[in-house]
Chains A and B, each alone.
Chain A
């Protein structure tokens, strides 16, 4: 069976949670959900997950706790959480925007609002998932800062996973750095599809392939690759 770009994205999302132990994992999109589902079933069995409504559920989906919004806020202020959010914009400093594009008083495009992104990023570990790496998302400076980057006080921006590779904020002056490329993706593609210069280290990693056992789990979580199949190279 051939390993697809979508499979590498799931592995990269799962790896983002490695070492997290007993904290609440909050993946905000289907591919990160697959990644957390895989980590939970393999190397991070103690992750705490929700049903997406108001309860904590174990790996079988059985309820093991109550987590309404009021408790979500207390949990995130406590710091025992790792969220993987999406982004309408991310800049070279790791600031994220999900609020609006254009001027604050009359935006060109109103999005959903900052939601909990300012509090998430200042209190606990945050990663991002961008399914379509493009210069429209990766901009020199975001129009509005929802999630704060390292230079604005972020607790930890662990990784940014895209359909091309994995990035962190360990470039010069805490700017975006290429950590690993998914097999088949190139440095040229990354630069072409990013609206600023990504720091390219001397040693570039390659996103690891799933093992046969991992692939079996991923297939079960995503039958017929309905989620992974949407990821373009």
Chain B
């Protein structure tokens, strides 16, 4: 029986420059922030990040890790606009592929299902239709649809409330988000968890099974200041402090020293 426990540093050691990484959660909710912090503090570079974005994206923008971002939005929820992401975009520092939220979902599904693309009508007529995105004509009805390319991931990072050492894992909040789809879209999935030990009373919450998982990191508080209800809500004060560092280099240095263990 395999024991997949590892540390954040061991996860980072298995990642490489230029990889495409998917990050689970949604906005500023149940993000695998201890893993994101470890990447932010590492030497990794030129990453393509695929995320329903929150502070994971902002932090990796601020620390210069992102070459390309595939996204539908980046938001801190209670703070509508993510200031570090905005700063990086307005400085022209990152390349983007902007997708509708549902197109993004179809791309993840395609990757998990071994399909080169999946069709959708979402996106037609809008600015997400850059030349890299193609449309098809339905052979039955003649209707035009978008062929959303598979969002294949080299690795996925997700945070779950409970897990065992083999990689079976549960969410205990009300929304699974798309963490299972991120896992199935990825060659390797690293999951952090609040606690090792499954909750037997929640049979319908087994979102992740061990076939999906390469490594398990026990990380109490691992979602950091993002929402991880019912274990803990978003730390709004800390999130406000994080957001305020976008306009104050000294505040950023203090924040990075305290939370990233680095003086970037």
Contacts and interface: CB of A to CB of B under 8 A. Distances in A.
B174 A55 contact: yes
A123 interface: yes
Interface string A104-129: 11111111111111110111000000
Contacts of B105: 70, 73
Interface string B168-180: 0000011111100
A122 B124 CA distance: 7
Contact of B127 (A99, A106, A111, A122): A99
How many of chain B's residues touch chain A, expressed as a range?
Answer: 35 or more
Contacts of B100: 114-119
Given A119-B122, A148-B124, A107 B89 contact: yes
A106 B91 contact: yes
B120 A119 contact: yes
Contact of B126 (A66, A69, A107, A146): A146
Given A106-B91, A122-B122, A116 B176 contact: no
Nearest to A115: B73
A113 B127 contact: no
A144 B101 contact: no
A61 interface: no
Interface of B: 26, 53, 71-75, 80-82, 85-86, 89-92, 95-96, 98-103, 105, 120-128, 173-178
Contacts of A55: 174
Contacts of B95: 105
A115 B176 contact: no
A183 B113 CA distance: 56
A128 B126 CA distance: 17
14 contacts: A76-B102, A112-B75, A114-B72, A114-B99, A114-B126, A116-B101, A117-B100, A117-B126, A118-B123, A118-B128, A122-B122, A122-B124, A146-B127, A148-B126
Nearest to A153: B125
Nearest to B229: A53
How many of chain A's residues touch chain B, expressed as a range?
Answer: 35 or more
Interface of A: 53-55, 66, 68-70, 73, 76-77, 99-100, 104-119, 121-123, 144-148, 152-154
Given A69-B175, A115-B72, A106 B90 contact: yes
Contacts of B125: 118, 122, 145, 148, 152-154
Contact of A122 (B89, B96, B101, B121): B121
B33 to A, nearest CB: 20
A111 B101 CA distance: 15
Q: Which of A54, A99, A112 has the most CB of B within 10 A?
A: A112
B81 A111 contact: yes
A121 B82 CA distance: 25
A135 to B, nearest CB: 21
B89 A116 contact: no
A73 B105 CA distance: 9
Contacts of A110: 81, 85-86, 89-90
Contacts of A117: 100, 126
Contacts of A115: 72-73, 100-101
Complex A-B, nearest 3 residue pairs according to Cβ-Cβ distance, in ascending order: A119-B122, A152-B125, A106-B92
A73 B101 contact: yes
A118 B90 contact: no
A153 B90 CA distance: 30
Contacts of A106: 89-92
Contacts of A112: 73-75, 80-82
B127 A70 contact: no
B90 A73 contact: no
